[in-house]
């Protein structure tokens, strides 16, 4: 019998410090630029101060992009524009610095960590530090079988927790979270539909590389069939991830919960991270207070999940490539908010005449 009790996260996870946030708001009111004039940057600065429990807010100096990778058996039905079992090619592009996400990360000076949970390739083909948490080779076809056994789901979840601890212990002060998967958006749509009580057609999108109408219809049918298998296990989030999630999604859910427990802020990317966040919210209702929605991906399931968690995307720029690329683009906005919050002078400085270049008459 499993020794993992997800209910423990309800007690472990606290909200960001409300008193510190009020102090940050009061400090903002004393600054020379009127409150509200910086739009969401004001809100971001105050959120970050509360997450750090620090006024003035500290700069975000050690961000890290963490990508959970896996193949999904449901891709064999032609629900993705990419061939089934080909996520390892995407991982190699990231590791070689040739993917959009890795190029952006290099430009922004953000280290990238890839965690293989269920790639459908020989583990010897990838670096040892990438594959050391792998649970299985590919996740099951969720329309007709479970994605994982209960033991695999627990192992994947624990791996996500371990990765979050490793990042917190290493001094990572903000995580940009994404996925590298083939078939992952289908599994994510099932989770969102199940948790929000909606039909398959409401949550089924066209994926990172847009699929045609026939593929979309196949994807809708796959989500519908998997949804029938998800509903009976809605009361147990680990069973839900085993039935219709996947090793990468289970790991990402554990990662998000442990990041909240360790008070590590996270920027979510697309529909896969949003779906995992929604599962995590079911486990611990305070956890979403530690997350930002980096971007609007255009996937209907993402919009549904973010609305349920009351998270408003920072950016809407039409980036659907996945792999954390959209969330990375939101990172400079968060860093700018921190700098403005910390460095804008008080009104008292202006009143003292330190910025006055005119001579008295």
Write out the catalytic residue numbers.
Answer: 323
**Cβ-based neighbours of 221, under 8 Å, separated by 6 or more:** 143, 200
Q: Based on the number of CB atoms within 10 Å of its own CB, is 7 exposed (0-12), middle (13-18) or buried (19 or more)? A: exposed
Label residue 63 exposed, middle or buried (CB < 10 Å: 0-12, 13-18, 19+). Answer: buried
Q: How far is residue 318 from each of residues 73, 186, 219, 299, 352, measured CA to CA in Å?
A: 28, 20, 22, 10, 46
Task: Round to whole Å and give the CA distance between 230 and 283.
Answer: 16
In terms of residues, how long is the chain? 361
Q: Give residues with Cβ within 8 angstroms of 191, minimum separation 6.
A: 230, 240, 241, 244, 245, 249, 275, 276, 278, 279
- Using alpha carbons, list the distances in angstroms from residue 84 to 74, 189, 316: 8, 18, 29
CA dihedral 239, 243, 246, 247 (to 10 degrees): 40
Copy the structure tokens of residue 215: 């593929």
């Amino acid at each position: 019998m499993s020794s993992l009790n997800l209910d423990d996260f309800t007690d472990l996870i606290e909200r960001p410090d409300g008193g510190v946030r009020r102090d940050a708001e009061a400090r903002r009111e004393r600054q020379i630029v009127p409150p509200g004039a910086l739009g969401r940057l004001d809100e971001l600065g105050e959120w970050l101060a509360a997450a750090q429990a620090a006024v003035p807010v500290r700069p975000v100096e050690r961000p890290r992009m963490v990508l959970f990778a896996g193949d999904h058996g449901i891709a064999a039905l032609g629900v993705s524009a990419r061939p089934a079992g080909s996520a390892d090619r995407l991982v190699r592009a990231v590791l070689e610095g040739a993917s959009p996400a890795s190029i952006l990360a290099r430009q922004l000076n953000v280290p990238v960590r890839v965690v293989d949970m269920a790639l459908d390739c020989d583990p010897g083909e990838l670096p040892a530090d990438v594959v050391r948490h792998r649970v299985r080779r590919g996740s099951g076809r969720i329309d007709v079988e479970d994605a994982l056994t209960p033991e695999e789901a627990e192992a994947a979840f624990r791996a996500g927790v371990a990765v979050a601890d490793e990042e917190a212990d290493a001094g990572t002060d903000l995580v940009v979270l994404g996925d590298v998967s083939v078939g992952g958006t289908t599994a994510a749509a099932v989770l969102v539909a199940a948790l929000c009580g909606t039909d398959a057609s409401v949550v089924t999108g066209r994926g990172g590389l847009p699929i045609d109408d026939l593929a979309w219809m196949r994807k809708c049918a796959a989500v519908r069939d998997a949804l029938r298998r998800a509903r009976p296990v809605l009361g147990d989030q680990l069973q839900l991830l085993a039935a219709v999630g996947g090793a990468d999604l289970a790991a990402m859910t554990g990662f998000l919960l442990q990041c909240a427990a360790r008070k590590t802020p996270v920027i979510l990317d697309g529909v896969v991270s949003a779906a995992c966040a929604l599962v995590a919210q079911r486990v611990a209702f305070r956890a979403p207070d530690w997350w930002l929605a980096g971007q609007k991906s255009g996937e209907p399931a993402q919009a549904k999940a973010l609305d349920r968690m009351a998270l408003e995307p920072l950016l809407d720029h039409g980036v659907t490539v996945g792999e954390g690329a959209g969330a990375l683009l939101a990172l400079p906005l968060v860093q700018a908010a921190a700098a403005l919050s910390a460095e804008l002078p008080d009104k008292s400085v202006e009143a003292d005449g330190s910025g006055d270049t005119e001579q008295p008459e």
